[in-house]
Structure 1
């Protein structure tokens, strides 16, 4: 007579269920909230929100989050009517062209109300708002191996 083993599959099923429960408990949440925005988004939103008042409340550190995924040497600051950051792409950013495309993707995803009207290897341009109160966002190469982002407002 043949012996029937049924306890083994149940034991394995319970072990798998415990592993799944453990993995679910320690895994980071999959849903992101507005407070979980990555540094590029929070920095871009803060800078764009400052455009109507002339960027006077921003510091050089306010824009560094934009460059953070692509380089660590960001130099940022406000001038009359604009806020600009420049940095050298490094690490996983790849070439300046690749990094420029990545910055444009960040702008598009972080600022869904922005219109992307120029998409070229030499310039990425977006704008937000009506013509009389428009905020413009331009990303471009700055020299052989630097990128520059300029946010300007009226």
Structure 2
């Protein structure tokens, strides 16, 4: 199994953007890190501490209509990416880059246009993060814990 780490790429890209004249700073747009970290931290308790609004920060840089819900051992959100995010494949890759950047300890073990998969923790207490297109114009983020 090949393991991909996007965090170095994401950090290099962020550094390059910061050097460009007239470029936007990281503070100009919403960041999903706080929401991602909150979701992952809630995994061991079965996501009972989360509300549907807790994860909307993951989608905010890319879409405004996130719908999130918790179920036993999983938390999921779906949303429609902004037109500026490009195709669903582009949006999936952008969100995956955010996941890699925000959660540098996560292992990125599947990197394909149709599915991005990360995991954190030991096999018996693993938290998994899966990002996929959901139909023609929506994305689905599922975080599950054991």
Report if TM-score (shorter chain) is over 0.5. yes
Are residue 93 (structure 1) and residue 85 (structure 2) matched?
yes
Answer yes or no: is 1:68 the counterpart of 2:60.
Answer: yes
Q: Distance in 2 between matches of 1:151 and 1:31?
A: 25
Q: Secondary structure at the match of 1:119?
A: strand
Q: What pairs with 1:28-47 in structure 2 (closer than 5 Å)?
A: 38-47=30-39
CA RMSD of aligned residues (A): 1.7
More RCO (CA 8 Å, sep 6+): 2
Corresponding position of 2:129: 137
Q: TM-score, normalised by structure 2?
A: 0.79
Scaled by the length of structure 1, what TM-score is found?
A: 0.75
Aligned residues: 121
- Structure 1: 5+ residue runs without aligned partners? 1-29, 33-37
Distance in 1 of aligned mates of 2:131 and 2:145? 15
Select which of 100, 105, 117 maps to 1:113.
Answer: 105
Deviation at 1:91, TM superposition (A): 3.5
**Deviation of residue 39 (structure 1)?**
3.3
- Larger radius of gyration between Structure 1 and Structure 2: 1
Deviation at 1:94, TM superposition (A): 1.0
Q: Equivalents in 2 of 1:41, 1:133: separation in Å?
A: 22
> Any runs of at least 4 consecutive aligned residues in structure 1 with deviations exceeding 4 A, and if so which?
none
